[in-house]
Amino acid sequence: MFQQLLFAAVVSGALYALVALGLNLVYGSLRLLNIAHGDLVMIGAYVAFWSFTLLGISPVVSLATTTVLCAAFGFLVYVVLLKRQLGSPALAQRLEANSLIIFYGLSVILQNGASLAFSATSRGYQFLDGVHSFGGVSATGSMLLLLGVAAAVTLGALAFLRFHVAGWSLLAVIERKDAAAVVGVNVERVQMISICAGFAIAGVAGVLVSMTQQITPFMGFPFTIAAFVVVIMGGLGNIAAGIAAGFVLGFIETFGVALTSATYRSILIYGIFVGVLLLRPQGLFGKAVQAR
């Protein structure tokens, strides 16, 4: 029983870490709080669902299609809504303050668009649902696939940031945008790539979610909140700590629900979210821990 819970916690932790990674990239390099992040997870989930049920395309293939689709959507959002604003400092300052509201509008559009197109019924499909048992844990193939992909993407991102020059310039933009520009980093390009990558990662997470859970047009918001919790706990731009925080949240949620009941799940997530923000009112960027 304990091992089973532990496994469930690891699975949801890996998922949270992945979703939060995308949010971290967008917030880190653009300073925009993407409240529509979870809705991109929803989009990825629907792409996988329809590809599988209508066309018989495996979710593994959908991983690639959603990556491209969501990245393209990120590019569109960047070019249409953000580029001009980010360009001038005065506008960018206002944009930062308004970013949340803009993405809020986007979130409502995506949710209701999906509900209009696909109806609000929850849906699911069966893929790799054969159960494998090892060491007292029973896991479906889809769960193992989820773990594998999530691990590959997060570790890949980690390695990229540590070992690749482009990764360093991304870290530089996250740390000090103005200084990065001075030392020759093309800030605009880094921002564009970050938003594409952030959106794509959310889409990939959506494909993984669709294999293991029921999906609805309104499934995104809890993921947004969970991602915020993870990013706030882990710290901005700190990808490694973000991954750890993802697992912490996965453990708290899984064991919390196991000790009480499923009705407490939302309360637990929102409660942690409110608590974390109240304890760190300076938000994602808080440096209070440093100034001991």
Partner 1 sequence: MTGKPFMIAAFAIVAGLMALVPQLGSEYWLGVAFIVAMWIALIQSWSLLSATTGYISLGHAVFYGIGAYVLVVSLDWMPVPYALALSGAAAGLLALVVGLPVLRVKGPYFVILTFGFAELVKNLVMLLETRLGQFSRMIFDAPSLEALYYAMLVLAVIATAIAAWTAQSRFGRGLAAIRENEVAAEAIGVPVTRLKLFAFVASAIIPGIVGGLLVLRTSYFAADQAFDPAVSFTIVTTAIVGGLGRVSGPLLGTLFLVILSELLWARFPQAYMMILGGLLIVFILFVPQGLAGLIRKGLGRA
Partner 2 sequence: MTILEVQNVSKQFGGLKALQDVCFSVNEGTIFGLMGANGAGKTTLFGVIAGQIRPNGGSISFAGKPLAGQRPDQICRLGLGRTFQIVRPFGNLTVLDNVIVSAMYGAARTHRLADATQAGRRALEDVGLAPLADQLAASLTLSNQKRLEIARALATGARLVLLDEVMAGLTATEVAEMTETLFRLRRERGLTILIIEHVMGALMNLSDRILVLDHGVPIAMGSPEQVVADENVLKVYFG
Interface residue with partner 2, options 54, 97, 183, 291 (CB under 8 A): 291
Write each residue from 183 to 212 as x if it is in contact with partner 1 (CB under 8 A), else as -, in one continuous string: ------------------------------
Question: What are 286's two structure tokens?
Answer: 């808080």
Least distance to partner 2 from the beta carbon of 242, Å? 25
What's the min distance (Å) between Cβ of 290 and partner 2?
Answer: 7
User: Considering the rule CB under 8 A, would residue 287 count as an interface residue with partner 2?
Assistant: no
Interacting residue with partner 1 among 129, 281, 290, 291 (CB under 8 A): 281
What is the total count of residues that contact partner 1 (CB under 8 A)? 40
CB 254 within 8 A of CB 8: yes
Minimum distance from CB of 291 to partner 2 (Å)? 5
Instruction: Please say which residue, 256 or 286, places its beta carbon nearer to partner 2.
Output: 286
Alpha carbon distance 58, 249 (integer Å): 30
Cβ atoms within 10 Å, residue 53: 12
The H or E element spanning position 234 is: helix 220-234
Closest approach, Cβ 119 to partner 2, in A, equals 45
- Tell me which residue of 220, 284, 243, 197 sits closest to 16, measured CA to CA: 243
Q: What is the largest CA-CA distance in the chain?
A: 59
Alpha carbon distance 40, 58 (integer Å): 20
Among 24, 51, 85, 254, binds partner 1 (CB under 8 A): 85
In terms of Cβ atoms closer than 10 Å to its own Cβ (0-12, 13-18, 19+), residue 241 is middle
Length of the chain: 292
Candidates 112, 121, 138, 186; binder of partner 1 (CB under 8 A) is 112
Give the residue among 36, 22, 114, 20 at the shortest CA–CA distance from 81: 36
Binding positions for partner 1, rule: CB under 8 A: 33, 35, 81, 85, 94, 96-102, 104-109, 111-113, 115-116, 221, 225, 228, 263-264, 266-267, 270-271, 273-274, 277-278, 281-284
